[in-house]
Amino acid sequence: MSSSSSSEAPNPSVPTDASAAASAPDAPDASTPTDGAVVLQAIGLQKHFKLRGVGSRDVVHAVDGVDFELRRGRVLALVGESGSGKSTIARLLAQLMPTTGGRLLLHGEDATAKGRRAFRRYVGRVQMIFQDPFGSLNPVKTVRYMLTRSIRIHRGRLRGIELEGALVELLERVQLKPAERYIDKYPHELSGGQRQRVAIARALAADPEVLLADEPISMLDVSIRLGILNLLQDLRDRLHIAILYITHDIASARYFADRTMVMYAGRIVESGDSESVTQDPKHPYTQLLVRSAPDPDDLEARARGARGEAPSLVKPPSGCRFNPRCPFATELCRTEVPPLLSVGEGREAACWGYSDRADKPLLSDITEALA
């Protein structure tokens, strides 16, 4: 079914004060962590996939040495083109696959889930929203069944009035009202946007501290994408959840996220507050990524875009992985991996052009370089 189905409820903006107050949780007490506190932290995160084949020792360097923090009540966007390793990071944080190296810390303590019970405790605090809302829901089960199962896993075996109240609360929290209109429907009877709201409600049943949103709007019609982002923004503000927002759309990162990290070929190349990263990009790749965003008034520039193709992650380029496509690359860029260098308050870019080395590349306006 098309996600533009007429059954899609009107796109919500941020709820009114009255509706927010009615569904908001109780005010936190003095022991509740304040917004901005680090909840989940990745240190030197690494994931290599072994290639199949007799005698093959090659690996795909999907993620190499990635560091970041997810903070309470904040949204961190992870932006990059397809194949850069964004979704792999989400699955590593969700512990749906083992890491090759690095550490995951939850509230400063090792979060590696060893065994089923530890994994269940972990997913009670860290939940994932998948890209395809139809593929992530059981097509032969109703909304009632899927939400009930999640509630009983994470909240105990509620029954009767208590269970019905919890189901209604979850559906209303994701703006599916009245709840009785949706609770006994199957996924194919819902539009794309409604299915994604059900998936979000299922994640919220665990009362998580972290939401990992892996391109949650990329498979939805453009007309309803803003409604889903507004919903996630409202949940962040009311429930103080830390959110990792994975996207290839840098414009939506500017709208939705507090901070943005740009990823290329398994590595972070730039990070900073979303407004600065999108309006004044420092790394040549980020500049090309911003230029590739749709601009109906500049179709010629859009057609030029980034030159070349993303590198093989089986045998990635030495030095900076962007150097084969970079108009400023020098021998230094081809031989040594650049660290994340300070390029402003709270901003970093992995580019030798911002170092104080004598053999560094000379950066100029990317527009001139591509002309």
User: What would the mean pLDDT of 263-292 be, rounded to a whole number?
Assistant: 94
Query: Three-state SS for 337?
Result: coil
Asked if the model's pLDDT at residue 6 lies above 80, the reply is: no
Is residue 304 in some structural domain?
A: yes
- Residue 293: predicted pLDDT: 66
Is residue 218 in some structural domain?
A: no
- Number of structural domains found in the chain: 1
User: pLDDT category, 35, cuts 50, 70, 90?
Assistant: confident
Any residues with CB less than 8 A from the CB of 300 and at least 6 apart, and which?
A: none
Is residue 323 in some structural domain?
A: yes
Is residue 288 in some structural domain?
A: yes
Greatest C-alpha distance within the chain = 73
Amino acid identity of 273?
A: D
Is residue 371 in some structural domain?
A: yes
Ranges of beta strands (E only) in 165-216 are 210-214
- Residue 155: predicted pLDDT: 87
314 DSSP 8-state letter: S
Is residue 194 in some structural domain?
A: no
Is residue 362 in some structural domain?
A: yes
Q: What pTM was estimated for this model as a whole?
A: 0.85
Asked if the model's pLDDT at residue 295 lies above 70, the reply is: no
Asked if the model's pLDDT at residue 2 lies above 60, the reply is: no
What proportion of the chain, given as a percentage, has pLDDT over 90?
69
pLDDT digits (tens, 9 = 90+) for 223-253: 899 999 999 999 999 999 999 999 998 989 9
- Residue 219: predicted pLDDT: 87
What proportion of the chain, given as a percentage, has pLDDT over 70?
84
Short-list 311, 329, 357, 353, CA closest to 64: 311
Asked if the model's pLDDT at residue 8 lies above 60, the reply is: no
- Residue 366: predicted pLDDT: 56
User: pLDDT category, 318, cuts 50, 70, 90?
Assistant: very high
Greatest mean pLDDT among 159-163, 217-221, 296-300, 352-356: 352-356
How does DSSP assign 237-259, residue by residue?
Answer: HHH--EEEEEES-HHHHHHH-SE
User: What would the mean pLDDT of 32-38 be, rounded to a whole number?
Assistant: 79
Structure tokens at 27: 């005010």
Distance CA 198, CA 323 (A): 43
- Residue 291: predicted pLDDT: 83
Please check whether residue 142 is in contact with residue 149, taking contact to mean a CB–CB distance below 8 angstroms: no
| Structural domain range at position 288 | 282-371
pLDDT digits (tens, 9 = 90+) for 17-30: 333 333 344 444 44
User: pLDDT category, 292, cuts 50, 70, 90?
Assistant: confident
User: pLDDT category, 358, cuts 50, 70, 90?
Assistant: confident
- Residue 307: predicted pLDDT: 57
Computed over every residue of the chain, the mean pLDDT equals 86
User: pLDDT category, 216, cuts 50, 70, 90?
Assistant: very high
Is residue 325 in some structural domain?
A: yes
Higher-confidence residue of 34 and 51: namely: 51
